[in-house]
Amino acid sequence: MEQLAEQLKQVIEQIVPSNELHGRWLNSLSMMENTGARKISRYEHPVHTGIIVLKHAAEEARHAYYLKKQIEKVVPGNFPDYTFPYLLAPVTSYQYLHQLDISACRYLKDKLGLEGRELFHGAYLLVTYAIEVRADLLYGIYQEALTKYKSKVNVKSIILEEEGHLAEMTRMLQTFHPEWAQLAEDICKVEGDLFIKWIVAIQQELN
């Protein structure tokens, strides 16, 4: 973990001082937040949807929008959409969440025999949990670099909301399954491998 945090810090400290790279970084994060928001909406039950899930979907969509707006402070007018030239490590960035999602579904099917709605709900909780743990590390290190380089960009409001999500996911997982901690640990391991792939792919683009 320590080593990964150090690796992440090095990557981010290479990105932030370069406006062009920083723009693509922000756009990539925006794309991933938007993918998250769309997944939450897809997993929502059409009728039995409570305020926590609605808040969560709204906030992830806000993160995507907020990050997109930050690009204007760095490289104005250059990043119209999420096509490959405007992203960092586009293929890996696109795959990260989808692969995590697929792995979580397969895991819940094999290990707990879940199907249909139950499977959707479980995958939503576990995937989101793993991502929130990651978001905590990533946005924390990113904000430190932003402060260090006196960037006009800041992600403090995102950090605050992601902390809230992590607490909510933990509470929901506790009622989802008595062995939730083991389930979460297993998915976090899968997420860890995917995250390393992502960082390595970005690193390769920087060199």
Q: Which residues bind Fe ion (CB under 5 A)?
A: 33, 60, 63, 162, 165
Q: Which two tokens stand for residue 22?
A: 């920083």
In the bound complex, what is the minimum distance in angstroms from residue 131's beta carbon to Fe ion?
Answer: 7
CB of residue 66 to Fe ion, shortest distance in Å: 9
CB atoms within 10 A of CB 90: 19
**Cβ distance to Fe ion smaller for residue 65 or 120:** 65
- Backbone torsions φ then ψ of 137, nearest 5 degrees: -70, -50
What residue has token string 């997420």?
A: 191
Q: In terms of CB distance, is 26 or 204 closer to Fe ion?
A: 26
Which amino acid is present at 151? S
Distance, in Å, from the CA atom of 207 to the CA atom of 128, rounded to the nearest integer, reads: 31
Q: Which is nearer to Fe ion, 44 or 162 (CB)?
A: 162
How many alpha carbons fall within 13 Å on the CB side of residue 61? 10
Buried b (16+ CB within 10 A) or exposed e, 150-163: ebebebeebbebbe
CB 187, min distance to Fe ion, A: 15
For the CB of residue 87, give the shortest distance to Fe ion in the complex, in Å: 17
What whole-number distance in Å separates Cα of residue 39 and Cα of residue 96? 13
Least separation in angstroms between residue 155's CB and Fe ion is: 10
Query: Which one, 68 or 165, has the nearer CB to Fe ion?
Result: 165
Cβ proximity to Fe ion: between 135 and 202 the closer is 135
